[in-house]
Structures are given as C-alpha cells and as structure tokens.
Structure 1
Amino acid sequence: MLVVAEKEIGGLMTPEAAFQAVEAVFAAMASGKAYNFPVVREAIGHEDALYGFKGGFDGAALTLGLKAGGYWPNNQKHNLINHQSTIFLFDADTGRVAAAVGGNLLTALRTAAASAVSIKYLAPKGAKVLGMIGAGHQSAFQMRAAAAVHSFDKVIGWNPHPEMLTRLADTAADLGLPFEAVDLPTLGEQADVIISITSAFSPLLLDQHVKRPTHIAAMGTDTKGKQELDPALVARARVFTDEIAQSISIGEAQHAIAAGLITEGDITQIGAVVNGSHEGRGTAEVTLFDGTGVGLQDLAVAAKVLELAKAKGIAQSVEI
C-alpha cells in the first residue's frame, strides 16, 4: 500500500488539478459511468463529533474507495482543524487496498473545485462581481477557485461575524481584486456570482435580495436541517447539483422539496452540462448549484494526488 501524508498534499495538489479531477468525475457521474455509495454519517456521542464514510466507484477512471472522517468541533484544544479525514483507494481489479491519502486539504480543494465547475458552466455572460457569503476556513479556497475559472473585477462579502471578513479581504488582495463588505440585500443586488459557504440552519440569502441574472453556488448545506437560501429563491432558480439523491435529502433543495415548491425532476446533475447533454443556464435568470459533496469527488482528487506523488517519488510504500 502507498501512503501520501497530509503534510505532502500542499506541495503536490493544485487548484487546477483539483478542478480537472472534479470536472471529469462529474461528467462520469452524469453519463452513468460512476456512482456514489450510500453515505454513513453519525454523531458518535464523544467530543460532539460527527463521523462517517463517503465512497463510490468511477468505472471510467477505475477509481474505487472511500473517505473516512468527519467534524470534531473541539479540535482547537488539540491545535488541529475541525475537519479530519483520510481517503482510501482500492485496486478495482483485485480489491486490495492501494493507497491511504491525507484528506484534509483535499476536501477543501475538491469542495472549491465543485463550485468552480458550476461557475465555469453557469455564470451569466459578462459576470464581473463575485459575492461571498461566509468567511470561514473554506471561503478562501472558494474565492481562489472561482477566480481561477472566471475573470472578476470585484469581490463583495458578508459574514455573520464581521470581524472574520479580513479573510475575504486578504484573499481578494492576493488575487489583485478590490473587496467591499456589504449587507445581504446589497450583495444579492450587486453580485453576478454568489458563493455561500456557511453552517447556517436558516435562510440567509432571500428571494427578494437577488435582482439580476445570477449564478449561486450553495456549498454549505450538506446535512439535514442546514439551510442558506430562501426556498422561494431555490424555486425561482434552474437547479443543478452534484448528486440529486443528496440534493433532495441533505442539500439546499431539501427545503424547497419539503415545501412543495420543486420536485426531484426539477434538479439536474451538473455533469450533464459538462457533457453537453444539457444546455445549462439557457434563458434562466437565476441558476443554482446545490453542492452537497460526494465521495467520488474525494476519490478523484486522491487518485490525482497519488499519481503526482508517485511521479515525484514521495508516496511511501507500506506492507500490510
């Protein structure tokens, strides 16, 4: 078995490589060549932690495996980030374990890559203003990935804790973009592309806030009960997602579905747009990418980083 340690990931994996891996696996999913296994996610009753598994099989790339890990909200006392995970890859021909890959940075990169794929294919023509809702750890990855696939003139942002907006301002400055802190109505009115990445359990961006052709990448809702958007806004949008089953059960669409505003048939896999089998934005005023996060994304970026590690001689061999 090969091991790629977490400390090596930053020197191997780039946002561009993550984007290519996620774009390809979304296309494989939509074409029926790749599928995710049912997600296991449990509160373990210790340290307020959530622990689980996400896995799948990509028949196009012959990538098989799972990500094990979760969310430990008290990890600051251990000088560790709250999200902890490891990705395991298996030989699709024999079932033998092939690799263990550190999953913390890869999770951030693959999440940002997913929203970037949606922006590449669904952003309104001439989009210039990027709106950021949320200023947590993941927000910097999101902004960088968005700027890598689309040319923006300005970033505007809002966060429930304004003191954290320095992260957005600093990231925008690194990208050579001006930044302005705004309220949510202003953000909805001015932004052409909006990325929401919070842990909210009630709507932040309301239907009446969005007044122009807009693409929204809703990336924070990945658990039953979480919510960032007004269900009426979801109903007004042309909705795309990574996986429909997760969108309607744990994603942003769960609330519009529960309210009877949309049905499962109103949601399209983003991979269909990548494949060219769906027109994408078309004439829609508002598009939404409901990014729930799927195991195949993790496997795709882990397989890519393993390839890079082997090429550089960094992957460690361990007998099991």
Structure 2
Amino acid sequence: MWVVPESEIAGLMTPEAAFDAVEAVFASMARGEAYNFPVVREAIGHEDALYGFKGGFDRAALNLGLKAGGYWPNNQKHGLINHQSTVFLFDADTGKVAAAVGGNLLTALRTAASSAISIKHLAPAGAEVLGMIGAGHQAQFQLRSAAASGRFTRVLGWNPHPEMLARLGETAAELGLPFEAVELDRLGAEADVIISITSAFSPLLLDVHVKGPTHIAAMGTDTKGKQELDPALVARARLFTDELAQSLSIGEFQHASAQNLISDSDVTAIGRVITGDHEGRGEAEITIFDGTGVGLQDLAVAAAVVELARQQGKAQKVDI
C-alpha cells in the first residue's frame, strides 16, 4: 500500500491538476463509466461531529475506493481545521488496498475545482465581477480557483460575520483583484458569477437579490437541512449539479424539490455539458450549479496525487 501523508499534498497537487481530474471524472459519470456509492453521513453524538463515507468506482480510470471523514466543529481547540478526512484507494482487479492519502487539502482543492468547472462551462459571456458569499477556510480555495480562469477583474464579498472578510480581501489582493465588502443585494445585482460557500441552514441569497445574467455555484449545502439559496431563485434558474440524486436529497435543490417548485427532470448533470451532450447555459438568464461533493471527485484527485508522489519519491510503501 502506498501512503501519501497530508504534509506532502501541497507540494504535489495543484489547482490546475485538480481541475483536470475532476472535469474528467464528471465526464466519465455522464458517459455511464463511473458511479458513486450511497453516502453515509451521521452525527456521532460526540464533539458535535458529523462523520461519514463517500465512495465510488470509475471504470474508465479504474479508481475504486472511498473517503472517510467529516466535520468536527470544535477542532480549533486542537489546533486543527474542522474538516478531517482520508482517502483510501483499492485495486479494482483484486480488492487489495492500494493507497491511503491525506484528504484535507485534496477535499478543498476538488471542491474548488468543481465550482471552477461550472464557471468555465456555465458563466455568462463577458463575466467580470465575482461575488463571494462566505469567508471561511474553503472560500479562499474557491476564490483562487475561480480567479485562475483569468476572466474576473474585481471581487465582491459578503459573510455573516463581516470581520472574517479581511482574509478573503487579502487573498484577492494576492491575486491582483480589487476587493470590496458589500451587502447581499448589491452583490446579487452586480456580480456576474456568485460562489456561495457557507454552512447556512436558511437562505442567504434571495430571489430579489439577483439581477441580470448570472451564474451561481452553490457549494455549501451537503447535508439534509442545509440551505444557501431562496427556493424561488432556484425555481427560475437552469439547474446543474454533480450528482442528481444527491442534489435533490442533501444538496441545495432539496428545498425547491420538497416544495414542488422543480422536478427531477429540471436538474442536469454537469458532465453532460462537459461531454457536449447538453447545451449548458443556452438562453437562460440564471444558471445554478449545486456542488454537493461526490466520492468520485476524491478518488480522482487522490489517484492523481499518488501517481505524482510515486514519480517524485514522496510516497511511502507499507505492507499490510
């Protein structure tokens, strides 16, 4: 078994490599060559933690495995980030464990890659203003990945705790982008692309906020009850996601679906746009990508990093 510790990930996996790996696996999903296993996600009754498993199998790449981990909201007292995970890969031919890979940074990179992929394929023509809703740990990865497209000239930001926006502004400055903290009504009116990445359980971005051609990447909702967007906003948009069943059950579209504002057929897998099987934005004024996070993303970036680690002599071989 190959082991790639968390400490090596930053020197191996780039945002560009994560983008390529995730885009490829979304296309494999659309072609029916890859599928995700049912998600297990449970409150364990200790430290307010959520723990679970996401896994799948990509026949095209022969990536088989799972990510184990979750969310520990009290980790600051341990000097750790709240999200903790490890990816395990298995030999698809034999079932023998093939690799264990630190999953914390990989999760951040693959999540940011998903929203960047949606921006590439769904953003309105001439999009220049990026709106960021949320300023936590993941928001900086989202901003960096979106900025790599080279299309944005300025960034607007909003966060439930405004004092946290300073570090998002610092990230924007590092990227050479002017940053301004604004209220949600202005962000929705001026931003061409909006990324929401919070842990909210009630809508933040309302239907009335969003004006003109806009693409929204809703990246925070991955659990029953979480919510960032007004269901009325969802109902008037063209909808895309990484995994349809997951989006409608634990993702952002669960609420509009429960209110019968949308049907299953209103939601399209982003992979179909990547493969050219769907026109994507078309004439829609608003598009929304619901990034729920799927196990196949984790396997794709983990497999890529194992290969890089082996090539560079940074993977440890362990017999078990």
TM range, normalised to the smaller chain?
Answer: over 0.9
Aligned to 2:11, what secondary structure does the other structure show? helix
Aligned residues: 320
Q: Give the Cα separation in 2 of the matches to 1:299 and 1:174.
A: 30
Shift, 1:75, TM fit: 1.0
The one-letter code of the counterpart of 2:103 is G
1:137 aligned to 2:137?
yes
Residue equivalent to 1:65: 65
CA distance in 1, matches of 2:247, 2:45: 27
1:146-184 alpha-carbon deviations (Å, 9 max, x no partner): 011241010000001010001210010010000011000
State the identity as a percent: 79
- State the distance in 2 between where 1:247 and 1:124 align: 23
TM superposition shift of 1:46:
1.1
Question: What is the RMSD computed on CA atoms of the aligned residues?
Answer: 0.5
- What 5-or-longer segments of structure 2 have no aligned partner? none
Partner of 1:90: 90
Q: Please state whether the residue corresponding to 2:130 is helix, strand or coil.
A: strand
Change (3 A) 1:228 1:274: same
After TM superposition, the score normalised by the length of structure 1 is 0.99
Report the equivalent of 1:227: 227
In the alignment, the residues of structure 1 paired with residue 77 and residue 157 of structure 2 have an alpha-carbon distance, to the nearest angstrom, of 29
Instruction: Give TM-score scaled by structure 2 length.
Output: 0.99
SS at match of 2:225: coil
2:27 and 2:175 map into 1 onto residues whose CA distance is 29
**Residue of structure 2 equivalent to 1:103:** 103
Which AA in structure 2 matches 1:49? A
2-structure distance, mates of 1:150, 1:287: 20
Q: Contact 1:253–1:290 at 8 Å: present in 2 too?
A: yes
Q: Tell me what 1:147 maps to.
A: 147
Paired residue for 2:25?
Answer: 25
The SS at the match of 2:148 is helix
The equivalent of 1:254 in structure 2 is 254
Secondary structure of the structure 2 residue equivalent to 1:149: coil
CA contact (8 A) 1:13 1:305 kept: yes
SS of residue paired to 1:256: helix
Q: Give me the whole-angstrom Cα distance separating, in 2, the residues matched to 1:194 and 1:150.
A: 15
Contact 1:119 1:150 in 2 (8 A): no
CA deviation string 1:91-148 (max 9, x = no partner) = 1111100000000000000000000000000000000000000000000000000011
1:240 aligns with 2:251: no
For residues 41 and 197 of structure 1, the distance between their equivalents in structure 2, rounded to whole angstroms, comes to 19
- CA distance in structure 2 between the partners assigned to 1:295 and 1:27 by the alignment: 15
Deviations 1:187-229 (A, max 9, x none): 0000000000000011010111111100000000100000000
Within a 5 Å distance, the mapping from 1:277-316 to structure 2 comes to 277-316=277-316
Summarize the alignment of residues 183-202 of structure 1 with structure 2, pairs less than 5 Å apart: 183-202=183-202
Secondary structure of 1:61's aligned partner: coil
Alignment gaps of 5+ in structure 1:
none
Conserved in 2, the CA contact under 8 Å of 1:113 and 1:145? yes
Whole-Å Cα distance in 2 between the matches of residues 181 and 49 of structure 1? 31
Q: Deviations over 1:242-266 (max 9, x none)?
A: 0000000001100000111100110
| Counterparts of 1:169 and 1:51, CA distance in 2 | 32
